[in-house]
Amino acid sequence: MAKIDILIVGGGPAGLIAAVAARKNNPDKKITLVREIEKCVVPCGLPYIFNRLSAVEKDLMPDKAYEANKIDLVIGEAIKIETNNKKVSLKNGEEINYEKLVIATGSSPVIIPVKGADLNGVYRIRKEIKYLENLREAIIKAKNIVIIGGGFIGVELAEELSAIKNKNISVVEILDHCLIANFDEEFALAGEEKIKEKGVKFYLKTAVEEIVGKNKVEKVRLNNGKEIPADLVIMAVGARPNVKLVEYAGIKVIEKGGIWVDEFMQTNIPDIFAIGDCAETKNFFTRENNLIMLASVACYEARIAGANLYRKEKNLVKNNGTVAAFSTYLDGLVLGSVGLNELGANKKNIKIVIGKSEAPNHHPGTLSNTGMIKVKLIFEKPSKILLGGQVAGPENTAEMINLIAVAVQQKMTAQELANLQVATHPLITAPPTAYPIIKAAEMVLSDERIS
């Protein structure tokens, strides 16, 4: 039986970063990472393996970091945790004793329970190379493709596939708009319009009633009676945490399905941590339990867990909750969102004030390839503390949402944002005279002075 100091189960972004962070904080410990598959894909790159990337193999996570950080990599499936004995059993019969255990088992795509979901030609976005290669081959052959789900994966898939010739792409979304779970309506609409320009058809406020076919999918029937021809169906309706490993180990799982963790990423069992998609996330503002499945959040949690493994209580690194920073790229349009949007704040009965601004992404605006940047900032009304923001604009807008994310985490006020010092350049940023984050904050301050 192998005995090690730190055992990490799961080889996605969370597991990898946890291993690296553990090594940086514990240079003399023996660290082993166990993962089920020989090669891991980059999860965020999956929508782009069908056109922008020439093969699934182009979307692999490199394993150099394991060797560079003296981390032992074991390929195998962990099937049992014995917390009393501090032991993990693998499917091949191997057993590993640990001092500290980090669970990073990720998530799996959801299947909607409709008739026909098991037909040939119905796929999900699974993180398995052979499965993805089969899906890529099926997409090349298909003409009519229906995507169920209008979240980030769904719209990014639609945008990617719309660039392939002779494809009819349809998106079915049960909500009022695609991306509406993370963006206010004007930003969600901007994303929809961009993809509509590529010929993608949207069926909004509509659910799938049945996937129809004999042995293979032939069409999708909607709850309004409409039928869409389909050679291929891709379900992109979310994911659920992989918690099967902990079911009988006494490790607490919350109602929504993630592993319960405290603010230091520790489970209810001493010396066991959980991170990434398999673990619960807490809202930065409300501390409510929710599931935000982002690689960026997973890496944030992994660094915290990796730092806390052997630290004494007074020196532990705290997880302050996720601000849920999202971004996407749709045929030249960047959309970013962080923190509370207007809809979310209103649902929580939080009194807010809103600042908006638009500016060109170059200065002067007569430079070639100039587009407009749109910014919307949400502030708590009495204090003018920033609660969230959204951006839309050309590609060089992308990092602006990260600046807003920092401001949210630091609980900056409208006045502090109005005094922001930023680097600008005619070819790569908005003008210093009308930098949109500053102008949006100034709008709130101006309204306050007027009222």
Within 10 angstroms of residue 115's Cβ, the number of other Cβ atoms is 12
The pLDDT, as a whole number, for residue 2 is 80
Least confident span in 16-20, 77-81, 310-314, 392-396? 310-314
CATH number listed for the domain at residues 334-450: 3.30.390.30
Q: What is the 3-state secondary structure (H, E, C) of 159-174?
A: HHHCCCCCCEEEEEEC
Q: What DSSP character marks residue 115?
A: B
Residue 138: its H or E element: helix 129-141
Give the pLDDT confidence score for residue 448 in this predicted structure. 60
214 class by beta-carbon count within 10 Å (0-12 exposed, 13-18 middle, 19+ buried): exposed
The pLDDT value recorded for residue 215 is: 87
**One-character DSSP codes across 408-445:** HHTT-BHHHHHT------TTTS--GGG-HHHHHHHHHH
What pLDDT sits at residue 34? 98
Q: Which of 52, 39, 41, 6 lies closest to 25, judged by CA?
A: 6
Categorize the per-residue pLDDT at 450 as very low, low, confident or very high, splitting at 50, 70 and 90. very low
Tokens of 146: 């229906």
pTM of the model: 0.94
Question: What percentage of the chain exceeds 70 in pLDDT?
Answer: 99
CB 49 within 8 A of CB 89: no
Region 293-299: mean pLDDT is 95
Which part of the chain is CATH 3.50.50.60? 2-107+240-315, 122-237
Rounded Cα–Cα distance for residues 354 and 348 (Å): 16
DSSP-derived pairing of the beta strands 208-213 and 168-173: unpaired
> What would the pLDDT profile of 198-246 be if each residue is shown by its tens digit?
999 999 999 999 999 998 999 999 999 999 999 999 999 999 999 999 9
pLDDT in tens, 327-384: 999 999 999 999 999 999 999 999 999 999 999 999 999 999 999 999 999 999 999 9
Which amino acid is present at 270? Answer: P
CATH number of 2-107+240-315: 3.50.50.60
pLDDT number for residue 296 = 95
Amino acid at 267: T
| Residue 50 CB contacts under 8 Å (≥ 6 apart), including other chains | 135, 136, 139, 157, 160, 161, 164
* Closest C-alpha to 171, from 212, 206, 134: 206
What 3-state class would DSSP assign to 104? Answer: coil
Distance CA 293, CA 181 (A): 13
Instruction: Give strand ranges (E) for 349-407.
Output: 352-360, 372-380, 386-393
Instruction: Report angle CA 442, 401, 279 to the nearest 5 degrees.
Output: 130
pLDDT of 311 higher than 80: yes
Residue 179 has pLDDT above 80, yes or no: yes
Extended strands (E) in 57-194: 71-75, 78-82, 87-90, 95-97, 100-103, 107-109, 122-124, 144-148, 168-173
* Cβ neighbours around 308 below 10 Å, total: 23
pLDDT band at 396 (very low <50, low <70, confident <90, very high): confident
| pLDDT at site 286 | 85
Instruction: Name every residue whose Cβ is closer than 8 Å to that of residue 421 and which is 6 or more positions away in sequence.
Output: none
Contact 280, 261 (CB under 8 A): yes
Q: Which CATH architecture has domain 122-237?
A: 3-Layer(bba) Sandwich (3.50)
Q: How confident is the model at residue 451, as a pLDDT? A: 41
Average pLDDT for the chain: 95
pLDDT given for residue 290 in this prediction? 81
**Closest to 31 measured CA to CA, from 56, 65, 57:** 65
